[in-house]
Chains A and B, each alone.
Chain A
Amino acid sequence: MNKTRTAILALTALLLAPAASAQSLSDGSIKVGVLTDLSGVYSELSGQGSVKAAQMAAEDFMKANRAYAGKVSVIGVDHQNKADVAGNKAAEMIDRQNVDMLVDMPTSSAALAATEVARQKKTVAMVVTGATTALTNEKCNKYTFHYAYDNYMLANGTGTAVTKRGGSSWYIIYPNYAFGQDLNRQMVSAVQENGGKLAAPSDATPFPNTDFSSYLLKAQSVRPKIFGTMQAGNDLVNVVKQYNEFGLKKQGIGLGIGLLFETDVAALGQDAFAGAIATVPWFWNFDARSRQWAGRFEKTFGKKPTWAQAGVYSATLQYLNAVARARSDNSDAVVRALEGHSFDDFFARNATIRPQDHRVLLDVQVVQVKGKSESKEAGDIYKRLNTIPAAKAFMPLSENKCRM
């Protein structure tokens, strides 16, 4: 009798073992919440494409980890680029929809609001599209990770590259809100550290703004080597359109761009941007691995991925891998599995997650926009100038203000 019981118990334990050792999931599932802009100015560069990318990551993860088959799901929620909406939606997703992790979060102010909510509710948040360095500095917290890029990396990459290539004097304009002010500060110090100077103090422009002619005329009279614009999205499109209209390039004034997305180039045409230098974490035809993933994305989504969308895939997959390593979706356990982790995927090269501030370090690419005649195929817009290694691309810990 006793023997039988022991045998049954042993057998049951044996049968349960694989499942038990694979996971202890809070509600039996992992839910990824893509908090993004589904309707506004950043919907094209993130939006539905980001949701699609997260879904691809979930599927790939479940295929590779049979124990999690059918257990990962993805939802996409619109935060309208507004901080208050982002905070509310984050709370709702975590409390009511049992989301285990938030990802994407374009617009710095919205990202700051959502990560604050995630901190209070002990939920992992991976900011991919928000840019402000505050996320890994004064506003850093245990549950927030900053993926793909930030203002320091943009300014450090572009400011250094452009200044070293002869752009010794700059006149910079920036949109007057958190992102623009931060990016202007970083860009000015990057230019100065590399021996460049400001031909005139930077000007803050209203945000949003359509007409930049006053600043372009000022640039004409100040005659810097480089006209630097820290505008993003549609404002950037307007600046560059008018930069061409006023013939600044012909007058020998180059263009330095703080933040450039593939969709901006598409909106205006490659030739308008030709020659401009920018820093990006990734682009779709970077190499064979990237092309292969981008091809899969394009097949299901109908468009080539932006680097923001590719970053959402990578961040989602790295989170899920961490859950698998931790064998739990408990946030504290996942954070432990993420901190200090080194990895390399098609998006994040030579990547490490810095434990002190949760900055995800990765190699980044300094690129120059090709003219239409130089591109070999549709969407071939970047020529790689150089790669900045992960260790040099981001803000060093010595400057970091994070107290976690």
Chain B
Amino acid sequence: MNTQLLLIQVFNGLVNGAFYALLSLGLAVIFGMLRIVNFMHGALYMLGAFAAFALGQLLGLGFWPSLILAPLLVGLLGVVLERGLLSRLYGLEPSYNLLLTFGLTLLTQDLVKQVMLSRFAVSSAPYSPPEVLSGVVNLGFVVFPKYRLFVIALSLVVCLVTWFVIEKTRVGAIIRASTENPVVTRAFGINVSGWVTGVFAVGAALAGLAGVLAAPIYSVEPYMGAELIITTFAVVVIGGMGSILGSVVTGFAVGVLAAVGAAVYPPIANTLVFILMALVLLVRPSGLFGLPEGAR
């Protein structure tokens, strides 16, 4: 394989990396703050894509309004889920919320499938990028879809903003305090459960955003999140559970690695991330950017 093709694949990998980063960022935020292993994250991603499709079909909304509205809707669903179901399991073993979110995933997938088939008469829905972003642009070393460049750029911005808010602002400080020591934080007059709900909603909205971004690239179908979520979990583990920076950096890195892998030796593309995970866990059991247990 020549260096140009390699360079092209590195670049191409950033697109998938963007999706991994957005999704694992949400997972990391939710895990870091709430200690919930949210198995439903893939379904929330799918719901984001489906919402964009449905908003277009039912209300005639284009890509741009959906890019705002769909994540908001998914975030709102996040509030309902956290308040209505997940909050009842706090204090119980983590396997309870794992089972709950897994069950909800199966339920959501089948529900969306039913709706798609009965209401829209398709099992996989078409969705096009907005006019201004359709077509390709010649970057000199490769001809690349404009829309994919937009995905890389927007994801980078969103990841940076999220990292900044959590690590560098007062809001972030409150969130971190609420989860480190809820009792003391409450004593300062801070509404801890309100913040927790907010964090879950933001994590869900991030997944929803990734879904809307994915709709013009992948086919919108009920199981589109199922496959992705497994890789995303691996990304979170490699990056270090709960580490914001770790999930973003690892997300992009894994995307690039998988793309290069697919070009060099296709059969390994999907396995590469798990090989990497095994290697990282051998050397650093808490992940690349994770703090060792007890240091928290």
Contact = CB atoms under 8 A, between A and B. Distances in A.
A297 to B, nearest CB: 15
Given A211-B16, A238-B219, A220 B224 contact: no
Interface in B274-294: none
A247 B137 CA distance: 10
A161 B121 CA distance: 33
Interface in B113-155: 117, 121-126, 129, 135-136, 142-145, 147-148
A117 interface: no
Given A176-B267, A266-B122, A215 B221 contact: no
A266 B121 CA distance: 10
B184 interface: no
A209 B12 contact: no
Interface stretch (A15-23, A199-207, A333-341, A389-397): A199-207
A303 B270 contact: no
Contacts of B267: 176, 204, 206
Interface residues on A, range: 35 or more
Interface in A233-264: 234, 237-238, 241-242, 245-247, 250-251, 263
A350 interface: no
A214 interface: yes
A269 interface: yes
Interface string A206-223: 101111011101101100
Contacts of A242: 217
Given A209-B270, A246-B136, A247-B135, A218 B5 contact: yes
Contacts of B269: 205-206, 214
B219 A268 contact: yes
Interface string A44-57: 10000000000000
Contacts of A203: 266
Contacts of B122: 44, 266-267
B40 interface: no
Contacts, number: 95
B247 interface: no
B217 A245 contact: yes
Nearest to A173: B266
A44 B117 contact: yes
Given A237-B124, A241-B219, A242-B217, A214 B262 contact: yes
Given A221-B4, A238-B219, A204 B12 contact: no
Contacts of B96: none
Contacts of A218: 5, 263
Interface string A96-113: 000000000000000000
Given A176-B267, A204-B267, A211-B218, A267 B124 contact: yes
B117 A268 contact: no
Interface string B247-264: 000000000000100110
A168 interface: no
Contacts of B129: 245
Contact of A234 (B16, B142, B147, B221): B221
Contacts of A221: 4-5, 8
A251 B121 CA distance: 33
A250 B126 CA distance: 21
A43 interface: yes
Given A234-B219, A237-B219, A269 B126 contact: yes
B140 to A, nearest CB: 13
B142 A217 contact: yes
Nearest to B226: A208
A242 B148 CA distance: 11
B136 A217 contact: no
A267 B15 CA distance: 24
B93 interface: no
Contact of B227 (A210, A220, A245, A272): A210
Nearest to B5: A221
Interface string B15-45: 1100000000000000000000000000000
B97 interface: no
A169 to B, nearest CB: 18
A134 to B, nearest CB: 22
A263 B15 CA distance: 28
Contact of B143 (A41, A209, A211, A247): A247
A198 to B, nearest CB: 15
A267 B126 contact: yes
Given A210-B227, A211-B16, A221-B4, A247 B136 contact: yes
Contact of A210 (B126, B218, B259): B218
A238 B218 contact: yes
Contacts of A272: 126
Given A237-B219, A241-B218, A272-B126, 9 more contacts: A44-B122, A176-B266, A205-B262, A210-B228, A213-B259, A220-B143, A241-B217, A247-B145, A250-B136
25 contacts: A44-B122, A204-B266, A204-B267, A205-B269, A208-B227, A211-B218, A213-B12, A213-B259, A215-B262, A217-B9, A217-B12, A218-B5, A218-B263, A220-B142, A221-B8, A238-B218, A238-B219, A245-B148, A245-B216, A246-B136, A246-B143, A247-B143, A247-B145, A251-B143, A267-B123
Interface of A: 41, 43-44, 176, 203-206, 208-211, 213-215, 217-218, 220-221, 234, 237-238, 241-242, 245-247, 250-251, 263, 266-269, 272, 303
